[in-house]
Homo-oligomer: A and B are copies of this chain.
Amino acid sequence: MTKDHKDDSLRIFSGYNLKRAFNAIQMDLNACLAQSGLRMITFSVLSIIDENPGIRQSGVAELLVIERPNMVVIIDELEQAMLIQRDRSEQDRRAYELRITDTGKTRLEQARQAVIQHEARMCKDIADSDIADMISTLRTIESNGLGRS
């Protein structure tokens, strides 16, 4: 006898629908990334390092909007798992240049396939063009939010 309560007053807001959809994605994604020993955040950071060889910790932090102190433990975790390597920069000996290892590349590719399958599950019964339109709208929203930090 679960009384059927309403949330119409919140459903009119895109933010409410965004949060609920993101919660659903997050739960499924974290479960499927766990098989690769990764979390959402470590998967993202590993992807960025793979795509930008030699990037610094502060570069990853800026790109993914993570505070530098919080970056440290993420990088530590990836390095201890031997998925990335930290090399002192020749030009600036304060900084590290981050690169993905061969082990990291294998693990990332495995995780990537899992994420692709996860996305297919979450986007079931939705046309590719509708997903593309949604992503376009989401990027405009993200862009509208910048410059107001």
Contacts and interface: CB of A to CB of B under 8 A. Distances in A.
Interface residues of A, number: 65
Contact of A25 (B118, B134, B145): B145
A102 interface: no
**Copies of this chain assembled into the complex:** 2
A90 interface: no
A1 to B, nearest CB: 11
A59 B4 CA distance: 9
B29 A15 contact: yes
Interface of A: 2-3, 5-11, 13-29, 40, 44, 47-48, 50-52, 55, 59-60, 62-65, 115, 118-119, 121-126, 130-131, 133-135, 137-142, 144-146, 148-149
